[in-house]
Structure 1
């Protein structure tokens, strides 16, 4: 009998990986804001959208 349920494994993985993804997205955002890009806003918008999605998934994981 396994100690961790099969349904809990994805949530456990999310608790490990999603905070790392948030850290990377924040670093990417600072790079885009200070970098020599002509069109910064589209990249920043994509990173913001990804950050919101990751935060939403992390919240669902914490609720579980």
Structure 2
């Protein structure tokens, strides 16, 4: 893939190694190992607002699907 120009080398701290693993049926599977990226990612979780506030803020909103 590198020789074909599909992928390229990267030295970014956010790059993730690509590995090819063999499936049970013998076919190759393209996989990305995101463990290093996950180690650098900060969690920014915040609590959800109370459902009553969300429903109040929605008011008389409507959602339609255009066919």
| Higher share in strand | 2
| Higher share in helix | 1
Query: Same fold per TM (> 0.5)?
Result: no
For the pair shown, which has the larger CA radius of gyration, 1 or 2? 2
TM-score bucket of the superposed structures, by smaller chain: under 0.3
